[in-house]
Each structure stands twice: as C-alpha cells, then as structure tokens.
C-alpha cells in the first residue's frame, strides 16, 4: 500500500511520503522565509521575461505578477501562512500563487529550477544586506568623526602592549576607527561588485533549451550581467563567503573598540562615562554601572566569525553543481548580518553617548614617562646626537626620574645634565604632554590641528556621499 506524496510540487516520481525525520532535516522554511521579498522579485522578473520571449502568454504573466503582488502584501501584513510540508519559501510562494490564480501559476517555473532560483534570491539578499550595512557603517563613522572633532585637543595616553607609550588625543584615537571602517566599507563594496551577476537562467545546472533572455532578467533585478557559466551560477557561494569575511573583519574592529570602552569605563582608568541609556545595573550590587552594550558588541564577533567558518566548511568538499549541503548557507548568514546590524546600531549610539573625562585622561597621559621619545627626539634635533645614542641617554634619564619618583618634566636640569652635560633648559619645552601632541604634525599624526582638519574632512566626505552638500 502506498500513501500520497506529501509535497505535490515535486512528488510525481515518488509513491510515498518522506519519513517524519526526513521532513524535519529537509525543510528550510523556518529560516528561508526571510528570502520571500527577493523570491517574489526574482519571480516577477522571470515571468515578465518569459512573456517577452513568447514562452508564456502575456495574460498569464500579468496574472502571475498580480498574484505575486498579493502574496507580497500578505507576507508584509503577516497573514501569509507558511507550510513546513512545502519545505521552502519557493514552494510556499508557488503553492499560494496556484491557490490565487489557478493553472497559470504552473507556468512560472518554466525554464527555471529551484537551484538557480535560490542562488538568485540569496544573491539579492546578500546584496540588500550589504547596502544596509554600508549605510549603518557610515552612521558609525559620522558619530566617531563628530566626537573626534569635539575632542581634537583632548589629551590621552597612547598605548602599546597596553602600557603608556606616547601622548595622543582622544580625537586622534577615534579617527583610527573611522579609517578602519572606511576599509570595511571598501571590502563590502568590492564584495558587492563581484556578486552583482545574475544566476537566474542557469536552471538546474546546464542552462535551458527555452529561448530565454538572461540579459533582461539580470537588468530587471539590478545585476550588471548574467553569470557566464550555468554550473558556476547554481553552485557558487563565494559572494556569501566574501560578505561574511568582510562582516567578520568589521565585527573585529567593533570588538576592539568595545573592549576599549569596557577598559576605559573601569574605575582604574575612568576615561569615559556612558549614561543610563547604554549601561545596566546589578541585581545585588547597587553601586554597579555595567557596560553591557559594549560587552555584547564585543561578543557578537564570535557569531559572525562562526558563520564565515561554518560556510567555509560546508563548501570545502562539494563537487559541482548543487548539493543539499548548500541549504546550510542561509541560516547562519542571516544571523551574522542581523548580529552585525545590531552591533553597528549599538556602537553608533554608544559613541554619541559617551563623554570623556579629560582630566583623568590628561593625568594618565603624563604617567609612565610617555614623553621620553620627545626627549630623545630633542637630543637628536638640538644636540645632533645619533638616535641610538639619544635612546640610551634618554633611558638613563628616565631611570634617574624613576629613582626620584618624579615625571620627566619634574626632574631637575642638573639631574639631566648629570647624564648629558649639553642638555639645556630648552628641553622642558618638549616634556609636557600638551607640547608633545602639538609637535606631532606629520601627516597622520596626533597634533590637534591635524586631528581637527581630518575630522572635518571626514564629515564633509560623509555628508557629500549622502547628498547633503
């Protein structure tokens, strides 16, 4: 005895329903329903092309388009019922289309396979995600550049090995992240350019015998061109890998900034404050103000990097063309982009919200003999001393200051002259942290005038890109 196949969309070859566990592992509708907007866009473009090529009638194409528009409205309104028995978003949309317009719905899948259909939908989704990410990254850059301009002269310690190194300004520090994010945007833009080819029309793997116009569907969907090889068209997921790689690097940048915010907020540093809007309290310790938003932003990189690594593992051993393994490309990709969007919004909000403690930063900038390099440079410049000798002399002076428990600018001239007799009182002009940062006027340096100029340049660039100037 046989039972009726569960999925009438593909069940002609089968006499029995799949096992319950087979349905469970096979169905993707629980997550790929996110592709519904892209699926409908692709189907409308495909139907219009089929009619233009004379493969289906124009009346059928109009009915298909009207039905798809109604389905889109139902999905937007939250009234569309997705069925797990129909496996995926493509089958759900097509089944509902049949309910709405009858037999004409069956003509939509002419010259098309779920293989090129899902490849097209997924490319459209990733492209849409990249466009949204670029705008969000610009918002973070805006927040950073505005804060940098406001604090172009606010002195803070610069660190290497998390040890005081040389004084910088808070604005200069923030602009480093503006530059990082610019590279992130460049990576996403490069990924978008490479993904912007249409797989639609590749069919299952070999193309189709119908006289389709792939240039038409590519243009209708905003692609630059159709993909040149049908095997590649249905089996390529480089576009998702590349976007996830860019997302991972971006998340790492935000994680580094989040880590700094966490450190800066500790009482031991006390460099910045966040308001109640981006902090939480403790259930037992009433004095606590926890930087949870920064900590969660720092943690999200794990999910995003895992999505990239997961898809690498899925793809690494797959022969051409399509394998069901590739169903695993979507869920983690959706989650990664969702996580990144959340991180970007949180970071933009925190950056705008945080207020630096200029006094604490200034005090910390003067500790740890952070102007020692300025002293060495002075010895080279004024006494014509070779830098390696100046480095040694400066080290001896730092040792003398350390023995007396004073900062460099508090060490007496006689103590310095005991190490190097040619040193004059003019040396004190370079030993304050303010003079140190003012002297760093080389391109890309931390001099306040440099920082203010660069922050204004970035703000103008961002405004121009948005069409505001």
Residue 322 in domain: yes
36 in Cβ contact with 93 (< 8 Å)? yes
Question: What CATH number has the domain bearing residue 83?
Answer: 1.10.275.10
Q: Are 293 and 279 in contact (CB under 8 A)?
A: yes
Same domain, residue pair 50 and 72:
yes
Distance (Å, whole) CA 280 – CA 260: 18
Choose the final residue of a domain: 364, 391, 407. 364
- pLDDT the model gives residue 1: 35
Q: Say if 65 falls within a structural domain.
A: yes
Point out the domain boundary residue: 311, 341, 364.
364
Q: Report the CATH number at residue 395.
A: 1.10.40.30
Q: Please report whether residue 264 resides in a domain.
A: yes
> Would residue 209 show up in a list of annotated catalytic residues for this protein?
no
Regarding whether 119 and 88 lie in a shared domain, the answer is no
Q: Measured in whole angstroms, how far is the alpha carbon of residue 327 from the centre of its chain?
A: 23
Q: Are residues 182 and 194 in the same domain?
A: yes
Q: Can you give the pLDDT at residue 14?
A: 55
| pLDDT given for residue 8 in this prediction | 55
Nearest Cα to 115, choosing from 209, 207, 29, 40? 207
- Domain shared by 252 and 190, yes or no: yes
**pLDDT for residue 25:** 66
Q: What are phi and psi of 159, to 5 degrees?
A: -120, 145
Q: What are the DSSP calls for 434-459, one per residue?
A: HHHHHH--STT---HHHHHHHHHHHH
Q: How high is the pLDDT of residue 26?
A: 62
Q: Do 235 and 284 contact (CB within 8 A), yes or no? A: no
Supply 55's token pair: 């493969």
43 part of the active site: no
424 within some domain? yes
Residue 138 and residue 462 in contact, taking contact as beta carbons nearer than 8 Å: yes
Q: Which residue bears the tokens 């593992």?
A: 313
Among candidates 148, 172, 125, which has minimal Cα distance to 338? 125
Residue whose token pair is 């833009």: 189
Residue where one domain finishes, among candidates 108, 130, 161: 108
Residue 194: inside a domain: yes
Residue 456 lies in a domain: no
Domain interval for residue 416: 368-431
Catalytic residue among 282, 323, 396, 412: 282
**Residue 136, in any domain of the structure:** yes
Check whether residue 360 and residue 393 sit in a common domain.
no
CATH number of the CATH domain containing 278: 1.20.200.10
- Looking at residue 64, its pLDDT comes to 98
In this structure, the answer to whether residues 145 and 292 fall within a common structural domain is yes
d(CA 23, CA 431): 73
Same domain, 152 and 237: yes
Using alpha carbons, select from 239, 354, 237, 360 the residue that is nearest to residue 297. Answer: 354
With beta carbons less than 8 A apart as the criterion, state whether 390 and 401 touch: no
DSSP 222: T
Within a 10 A sphere around the Cβ of 186, how many other Cβ atoms?
A: 11
Q: Which residues fall within 8 angstroms of residue 131, CB to CB, at 6 or more apart? A: 192
Longest dimension (CA), the chain: 106
Cα–chain center distance at 310: 17
Q: How many domains does the chain have?
A: 3
Residue bearing tokens 């480093």? 176
Q: Which residues contact 272 (CB under 8 A, 6 or more apart)?
A: 261, 264, 265, 354, 355, 356, 357
- Which of 358, 177, 338 minimizes the C-alpha distance to 247? 338
pLDDT in the model for residue 469: 42
Q: Which of 161, 209, 283, 414 is catalytic?
A: 161
Distances (CA, A) of 349 to 144, 223, 249, 289, 400: 10, 34, 20, 17, 46
Contacts with 413 (C-beta within 8 Å, 6 or more apart), sequence order: 423, 424, 425, 427, 428
- Mean pLDDT for each 10-residue chunk of the chain (469 residues)? 49 60 68 92 98 98 98 96 90 96 96 96 98 97 98 96 92 98 98 98 97 98 98 97 98 97 95 90 79 93 97 95 91 96 96 96 89 92 94 95 90 94 92 91 96 98 81
Both 248 and 356 in a single domain?
A: yes
The answer to whether residues 355 and 372 belong to one domain is no
Same domain, 85 and 119: no
What's the pTM value of the predicted model, to 2 decimals? 0.89
Q: Phi and psi (nearest 5°) for 71?
A: -65, -45
Taking the CA atoms of residue 287, residue 292, residue 293 and residue 296 in that order, the dihedral angle to the nearest 10 degrees is 170
- Residue 462 CA to residue 32 CA, distance in Å, equals 35
What is the reported pLDDT for 4?
Answer: 46
Q: Are 296 and 331 within one domain?
A: yes
Question: With 0-12 CB in 10 A as exposed, 13-18 as middle and 19+ as buried, what is 108?
Answer: buried
Residue 459 maps to a domain: no
380 & 309 share domain: no
């Amino acid at each position: 005895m046989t039972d009726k196949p569960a999925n009438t969309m593909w069940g002609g070859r089968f006499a029995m329903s799949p096992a319950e566990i087979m349905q469970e592992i096979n169905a993707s509708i629980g997550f790929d329903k996110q592709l519904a907007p892209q699926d409908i866009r692709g189907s409308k473009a495909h139907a219009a092309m089929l009619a233009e090529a004379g493969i289906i009638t124009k009346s059928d194409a109009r009915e298909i388009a009207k039905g798809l528009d109604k389905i889109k409205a139902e999905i937007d309104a939250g009234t569309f019922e997705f069925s797990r028995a129909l496996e995926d978003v493509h089958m759900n949309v097509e089944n509902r289309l049949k309910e709405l317009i009858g037999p004409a719905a069956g003509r939509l899948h002419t010259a098309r396979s779920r293989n090129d259909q899902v490849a097209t939908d997924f490319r459209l989704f990733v492209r849409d995600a990249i466009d949204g990410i670029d705008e969000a990254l610009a918002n973070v850059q805006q927040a950073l550049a505005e804060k940098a301009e406001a604090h172009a002269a606010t002195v803070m310690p610069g660190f290497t090995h998390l040890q005081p190194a040389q004084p910088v300004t808070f604005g200069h520090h923030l602009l480093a992240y503006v530059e990082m994010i610019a590279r992130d945007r460049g990576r996403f833009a490069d990924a978008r350019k490479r993904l912007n080819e249409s797989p639609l029309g590749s069919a299952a793997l070999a193309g189709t015998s119908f006289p389709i116009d792939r240039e038409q569907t590519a243009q209708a969907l905003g692609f630059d061109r159709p993909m040149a090889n049908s095997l590649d068209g249905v089996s390529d997921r480089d576009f998702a890998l590349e976007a996830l790689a860019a997302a991972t690097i971006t998340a790492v940048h935000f994680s580094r900034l989040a880590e700094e915010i966490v450190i800066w907020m500790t009482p031991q540093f006390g460099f910045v404050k966040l308001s109640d809007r981006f902090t939480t309290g403790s259930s037992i310790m009433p004095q606590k103000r926890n930087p949870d938003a920064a900590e969660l932003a720092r943690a999200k990189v794990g999910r995003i990097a895992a999505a990239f690594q997961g898809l690498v593992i899925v793809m690494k051993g797959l022969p051409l063309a399509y394998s069901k393994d590739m169903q695993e490309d979507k869920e983690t990709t959706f989650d990664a982009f969702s996580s990144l969007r959340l991180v970007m919004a949180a970071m933009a909000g925190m950056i705008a919200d945080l207020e630096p403690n200029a006094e604490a930063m200034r005090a910390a900038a003067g500790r740890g003999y952070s102007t020692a390099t300025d002293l060495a440079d002075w010895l080279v410049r004024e006494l014509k001393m070779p830098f390696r000798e100046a480095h040694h002399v400066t080290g001896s002076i730092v040792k003398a200051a350390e023995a007396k428990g004073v900062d460099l600018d508090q060490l007496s001239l006689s103590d310095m002259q005991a190490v190097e007799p040619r040193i004059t009182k003019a040396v004190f002009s370079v030993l304050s942290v303010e003079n140190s940062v003012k002297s760093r006027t080389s391109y890309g340096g931390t001099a306040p005038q440099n920082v203010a100029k660069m922050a204004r340049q970035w703000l103008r660039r961002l405004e121009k890109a948005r069409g505001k100037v």
